[in-house]
Amino acid sequence: MKLITAIIKPFKLDDVREALSDIGVQGITVTEVKGFGRQKGHTELYRGAEYVVDFLPKVKLEVAVADGSVEQTLEAISKSANTGKIGDGKIFVSALEQVIRIRTGETGEEAI
């Protein structure tokens, strides 16, 4: 199992959610975050206004997926979050040791 963490532009959230729903992802956690990449937030526009601060608003998505779903999940996020402009974000893939579905006690891929 993998934990896929994607940092995306906030206005892309609906598109990404739809793309992930379309491939049957079972759950998504969303957090409003701030961050900066290589440009350190300086030259990037957000909602038409240039931000003078270093940290720009971003959305963090966390999706736990079975090994067999990793590639299509990465593709769905990459395509739906892409504008071709700076600040489109990044996707981090981490090994996921265990998942427990609290209500049923299921574990592992069954719990995803």
Ligand X SMILES: Nc1ncnc2c1ncn2[C@@H]1O[C@H](COP(=O)(O)OP(=O)(O)OP(=O)(O)O)[C@@H](O)[C@H]1O
Residues that bind ligand X (CB under 6 A): 7, 35-39, 56, 58, 86-90
CB of 37 to Mg ion, least distance (A): 3
Residue 54 vs 75, nearer CB to ligand X: 54
* Cβ neighbours for 79, distance < 8 A, ≥ 6 positions apart: 19
* Cβ neighbours for 33, distance < 8 A, ≥ 6 positions apart: 7, 57, 58, 59, 60
* Site for Mg ion contains 87 (CB under 5 A): yes
Residue 86 vs 100, nearer CB to Mg ion: 86
CB of 65 to Mg ion, least distance (A): 26
**Interacting partner of 35 out of ligand X, Mg ion, none (Cβ under 5 to 8 A depending on kind):** ligand X
- DSSP summary character for residue 100: B
Give the footprint of Mg ion on residues 29-68 (CB under 5 A): 37-39
Is 50 buried (19+), middle (13-18) or exposed (0-12) by CB count in 10 A?
exposed
| Interacting residue ranges for Mg ion, rule: CB under 5 A | 37-39, 86-87
